């Protein structure tokens, strides 16, 4: 199969990561913390979605909506309980708190949800495109036959819908504009009469909603367990920082870079190194931080 197929795989993987990375990076931009427990938010979303899918009538989208609402509620409760009280202490104590909270939530989920993985019952149809001509450049075929599945289309479609909504939110609504103002300069925003705590709360809810959506999408593709989100947190974090922490647009870009790198490196690395694809993503992250520490598009993160 050709590069085209790999790019499709990369775009799909990137879409999962992008939805979560937007939530992650919004928290970073507004609350000024790296939330390491965000993977658990995703797992919680997956569990809520799974519960809804098995108890409520109606199709999967109903469960997705329930998971998004539930994710938002959980997120604001956790923020009020754990993060808002220590908002003034700076990024490092908040990062450490989120690591502790992550351990608590992950094992709490294990305790409540049990050990074995659960699965969403979904049907997937595949669309094959067979008559595509090859376009070889050296050993690499740029076109070639490819396929997409309905599930992949849903994932990419959801991601695009999220991007559009976030863009509208940030540019057309008062809350969104206030968010951007606060991301740029919090004290200035406060001077201008923005209720910073309200904005922070809105960001927490929004991040939780996105985590709920990402959780269900990831769980449909893999499974529902206490580790559903945790196993992706480093990719999400890499995507957010790669794109320039705090910038939703950067996070989208970063997520697709990571997704494409994962796909292409698995396809083209020597076979003894195919198990290293996520390490390759981290190498890129470190390289970007060194060359352009502000990320592909974003703020200065060096202090000296």
Considering only residues 150 to 179 of the shown chain, the ones binding other proteins according to CB under 8 A are 151
The single residue among 93, 136, 188, 197 that binds other proteins, judged by CB under 8 A, is 93
Question: Should residue 86 be labelled a site residue for other proteins when binding is judged by CB under 8 A?
Answer: yes
> What are the beta bridge partners of residue 137?
140
By CB under 8 A, tell whether 198 contacts other proteins: no
Least Å from the CB of residue 136 to other proteins: 13
3-state secondary structure of 224: strand
Q: Given the rule CB under 8 A, which of 48-56, 102-110, 158-166, 182-190 is the region that contacts other proteins?
A: 102-110
Interface with other proteins includes 124 (CB under 8 A)?
yes
DSSP tag of 57: -
The answer to whether residues 297 and 244 touch, using CB atoms and an 8 Å cutoff, is: yes
Burial class (CB in 10 A: 0-12, 13-18, 19+), 62: middle
Q: CA angle, corner 101, sides to 19 and 33, nearest 5?
A: 55
In a 3-state reduction of DSSP, which class is residue 92?
Answer: helix
Cβ within 8 Å of residue 19, ≥6 positions away? 158, 159, 162, 210, 213, 214, 217
Distance CA 42, CA 34 (A): 15
Please say which residue, 35 or 176, places its beta carbon nearer to other proteins: 35
Question: Which residues ranging from 215 to 244 are in contact with other proteins (CB under 8 A)?
Answer: 218, 221-223, 225, 227, 231-232, 234, 237-238, 241
d(CA 171, CA 185): 17
Query: Per CB under 8 A, which of residues 271..290 are in contact with other proteins?
Result: 271-279, 282-283, 285-286, 289-290
Determine if 25 is a binding residue for other proteins (CB under 8 A). Answer: no
Overall size of the chain counted in residues: 304
Closest separation between CB of residue 173 and other proteins, Å?
Answer: 29
**Measured distance CA(105)–CA(78) in Å, rounded:** 10
Selected from 62, 65, 73, 117, the binder of other proteins by CB under 8 A is 117
Give the total of residues touching other proteins (CB under 8 A).
Answer: 80
Q: Does 247 bind other proteins (CB under 8 A)?
A: no
Q: How far is the CB of 282 from other proteins (least distance, A)?
A: 4
The nearer residue to other proteins, 200 or 232, going by C-beta atoms, is 232
Among 54, 89, 171, 197, binds other proteins (CB under 8 A): 89
Q: Is 129 in the site for other proteins (CB under 8 A)?
A: no
Query: For residues 128 and 187, which CB has a smaller minimum distance to other proteins in the complex?
Result: 128
Looking at beta carbons only, is 170 or 266 nearer to other proteins?
266
CB of 153 to other proteins, least distance (A): 12
3-state secondary structure 284-296: HHHHHHHHCCCCC
Give the closest residue to 262 by CA, choosing from 51, 7, 69.
7
Whether 52 contacts 62, CB under 8 Å: yes
């Amino acid at each position: 199969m050709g590069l085209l197929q790999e790019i499709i795989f990369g775009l799909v993987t990137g879409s999962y990561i992008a939805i979560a990375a937007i939530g992650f990076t919004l928290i970073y931009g507004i609350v000024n913390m790296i939330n390491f427990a965000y993977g658990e938010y995703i797992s919680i979303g997956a569990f809520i979605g799974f519960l809804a899918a098995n108890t409520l009538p109606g199709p999967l989208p109903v469960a997705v909506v329930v998971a998004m609402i539930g994710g938002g509620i959980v997120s604001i409760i956790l923020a009020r309980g754990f993060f808002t009280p220590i908002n003034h202490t700076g990024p490092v104590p908040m990062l450490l708190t989120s690591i502790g909270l992550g351990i608590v939530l992950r094992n709490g989920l294990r305790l409540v949800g049990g050990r074995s993985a659960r699965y969403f019952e979904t049907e997937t149809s595949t669309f094959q495109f067979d008559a595509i001509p090859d376009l070889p450049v050296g050993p690499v075929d740029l076109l070639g036959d490819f396929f997409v599945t309905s599930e992949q289309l849903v994932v990419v479609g959801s991601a695009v819908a999220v991007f559009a909504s976030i863009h509208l939110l940030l540019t057309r609504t008062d809350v969104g504009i206030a968010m951007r103002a606060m991301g740029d300069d919090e004290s200035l925003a406060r001077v201008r009469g923005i209720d910073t705590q309200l904005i922070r709360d809105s960001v927490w809810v929004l991040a939780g909603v996105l985590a709920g959506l990402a959780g269900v999408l990831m769980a449909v593709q893999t499974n529902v367990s206490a580790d559903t989100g945790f196993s992706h947190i480093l990719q999400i974090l890499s995507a957010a920082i790669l794109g320039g922490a705090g910038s939703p647009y950067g996070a989208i870009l970063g997520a697709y870079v990571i997704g494409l790198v994962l796909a292409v490196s698995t396809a083209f690395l020597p076979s003894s190194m195919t198990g290293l694809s996520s390490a390759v993503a981290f190498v890129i992250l470190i390289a970007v931080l060194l060359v352009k520490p502000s990320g592909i598009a974003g703020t200065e993160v060096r202090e000296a």
